[in-house]
Amino acid sequence: MISNKKFLISVVLLFVATYLCAQRSISGTVLDSETNEPLVGANILIEGTALGTATEFDGSFALDVPEGDVTLVISYTGYDAFYFPLGDENVVDIRMQSGSFLDEIVVTGYGTVKREDATGSIQSVNADKFNQGSITGPQELLAGKIAGVTISTGGSPGEGSAIRIRGETSLSASNNPLIVIDGIPIDDGGISGSRNPLNIIHPNDIESFTVLKDASASAIYGNRASGGVILITTKKGYLGKKVRVGYNGNFSVGERSGEVDILSADEFRDLINQRFAEGHPARNILGSANTSWQDEIYQTAIGHDHNVSLSGSLSQVPYRVSLGYTNKEGILKTDLFERYTYGINLTPGLLNNTLQLTLGFKGMSINNDFANRGAIGSALSFDPTQPIRDPENAYGGFFAWTQSNGQPNTLAPANPIALLEQRDDQSHVTRYIAKFQADYRLPFLPAMRANLNVAFDRSDSEGSINVPENAAFAFFNGGEITNYTEEKENTLLEFYLNYRIPLANMSSTLWGDIHGSASLPITLAKARMWLGQRCFSHQILVPENTSCCLYLGG
């Protein structure tokens, strides 16, 4: 018995000695190749394993590596991944270059993946491929850029769009895609007095769009994503970068591209005279004016847009602050859109960069003047021989068709200019979104990440519609006075665990997620593992309303 124990102890000691002899210790620093500043919390892994470390505040690191051919993989937010083959040296100096990492990865509901590793139908568009010109709404940047995504924007300034992914045409459910801004799902219902729920973001603050088209890619968001998902990522600051001030502005002039071909005043008179004999009442009510109602209701729309940003790194806290102002007239008279936007993003890394924090705040303040679109149809049907104004008329000085008793004729078209000028429709809308996100890489298991996402979205609006009593088109209703207010709040509490590890001798990565709200009680759910086209199910206990998936991506 004693001999057996001695034998086992000898084997263990021999194994430990062999293991220690097969290792060596290396040390070094990781620096920015341009500024020579140390990169704090850069991840250093031995390729093909989960063994690694992170750099200290001075960019230094120490790591035990096996003997033989070893390659270190160094990664850092905002920098290209760097592969460093180790030779015989035990002290290394590594310099990393900043890179456009968004060209290499795409954002999904579960985090980010390399574009070539993404499964399902996922497409992204970055800032350098956005539509250019006088852009007011964020959705205009994406129009025509992704196959299967149609975006139809209205003609009013700041107006929203009908967005359809793969031609969704449900009769009962919403066909709108779910919009997610920096991980926060946005209520597409909007608020009273608002033209477009996406107006909270200035287009110049957007870094990229990612469109998730199929069910597997959008499964994390549930039935809200039946029409697809559009993920919007806004711009942020980067660690180690110098202070940078940016300005983007434009001035625009808008004109209507054409008009409906209708009879002019002279052509209308000739038609009436041809069809009706002398003395007929139709001839008697012809006027002497020559009014082109389409020319009268439309205008040359002037607009200007400005965005100022400040980005950089304050000590170990990357930041980006932006302010925007937009003022645009509509080509339909009395239509006006005025917007103020502001935003701030802070992305510090703590605890040797194992704890990544994201603090964001976005807000807007919008003033709207809405034009009466009924004037467009009225301009096509109103008598072109009549004047715009009639000083002797009791209806605000605008010409109006009347009955024999002098009251307005409700069967006749309304004066298009009266519809525009006698209806005052205004609104004031404010909205802000506050976000806090914490992503922690567990020190005892570097391949495991815990992510907490908390957000608050609040909208307030107030508006009024005023039509005077003497407006012919509202005479029998005694005019109109309408005042409205609305408040809307949405909150988000989200937590998930992410495990990701490269598989040795395979161009694949095993990764998984446990995602959702952690509401009790605990219920029986299923975790799914995909291997090629085969699916295996395993029962596990997870909190209610959570989904758990393991993936093997290649």
Q: What is the C-alpha to C-alpha distance for residues 275 and 410, in angstroms, rounded to an integer?
A: 25
pLDDT tens per residue across span 321-342: 999 999 999 999 999 999 999 9
Residue 113 confidence (pLDDT): 53
**Mean pLDDT of all residues in the chain?**
80
Q: Are 72 and 233 in contact (CB under 8 A)?
A: no
- Go through the domains of the chain in sequence order and give each one's CATH number: 2-99 (2.60.40.1120), 102-234 (2.170.130.10), 246-494 (no CATH), 503-553 (no CATH)
Give the angle subtended at the CA of 458 by the CAs of 455 and 460, to the nearest 5°: 175
Average pLDDT over residues 250-263: 92
Length of the chain: 554
User: Ramachandran region of residue 91, left (φ > 0), alpha (ψ -120 to 50) or beta?
Assistant: beta
Please determine, for residue 254, whether its predicted confidence score (pLDDT) is greater than 70.
yes
Nearest to 416 by CA among 452, 446, 391, 384: 384
Q: Are 388 and 399 in contact (CB under 8 A)?
A: yes
DSSP assignment, residue 429?
Answer: E
Residue 146 half-sphere exposure toward CB, CA atoms < 13 A: 27
**How far is C-alpha 235 from the chain's CA centre?**
11
Which helix (H) or strand (E) segment is 486 a member of? strand 480-502
pLDDT tens per residue across span 419-457: 999 999 999 999 999 999 999 988 888 778 898 999 999
Q: What is the C-alpha to C-alpha distance for residues 491 and 496, in angstroms, rounded to an integer?
A: 17
More confident site: 57 or 109: 57
Please determine, for residue 537, whether its predicted confidence score (pLDDT) is greater than 80.
no
Average pLDDT over residues 123-136: 87
Of 58-62, 118-122, 410-414, the range with the lowest mean pLDDT is: 118-122
Q: Are 114 and 201 in contact (CB under 8 A)?
A: no
Q: What is the edge-to-edge ordering of all strands in the sheet holding 122-126?
A: 122-126, 206-212, 229-234, 178-181, 184-186
Question: Structure tokens of 191?
Answer: 């608020």
Q: Are 158 and 326 in contact (CB under 8 A)?
A: yes
Bridge partners (DSSP) listed for residue 500:
511
Average pLDDT over residues 256-266: 92
Predicted confidence band at 111 (pLDDT cuts at 50, 70, 90)? Answer: low
Predicted confidence band at 4 (pLDDT cuts at 50, 70, 90)? Answer: low
Residue 164 confidence (pLDDT): 86
Q: What is the C-alpha to C-alpha distance for residues 150 and 142, in angstroms, rounded to an integer?
A: 9
Average pLDDT over residues 60-71: 83
Predicted confidence band at 499 (pLDDT cuts at 50, 70, 90)? Answer: confident
Predicted confidence band at 114 (pLDDT cuts at 50, 70, 90)? Answer: low
Bridge partners (DSSP) listed for residue 152:
162
Please determine, for residue 344, whether its predicted confidence score (pLDDT) is greater than 80.
yes
pLDDT tens per residue across span 90-100: 888 888 876 54
Predicted confidence band at 173 (pLDDT cuts at 50, 70, 90)? Answer: low
Predicted confidence band at 272 (pLDDT cuts at 50, 70, 90)? Answer: very high
Average pLDDT over residues 144-156: 85
Residue 6 confidence (pLDDT): 57
Of 41-55, 112-126, 237-251, the range with the lowest mean pLDDT is: 112-126
What is the amino acid identity at position 116?
A: E
Q: What is the C-alpha to C-alpha distance for residues 492 and 452, in angstroms, rounded to an integer?
A: 10
Residue 46 confidence (pLDDT): 85
* Single pTM value for the model: 0.72
More confident site: 69 or 546: 69
pLDDT tens per residue across span 20-31: 446 788 888 888
Secondary structure (3-state) at 74: strand
pLDDT tens per residue across span 180-221: 999 888 887 778 899 998 999 999 999 999 888 776 555 667
pLDDT tens per residue across span 285-319: 999 999 999 999 999 999 999 999 999 988 778 99
Predicted confidence band at 528 (pLDDT cuts at 50, 70, 90)? Answer: very low
Residue 548 confidence (pLDDT): 40
Residue 422 confidence (pLDDT): 96
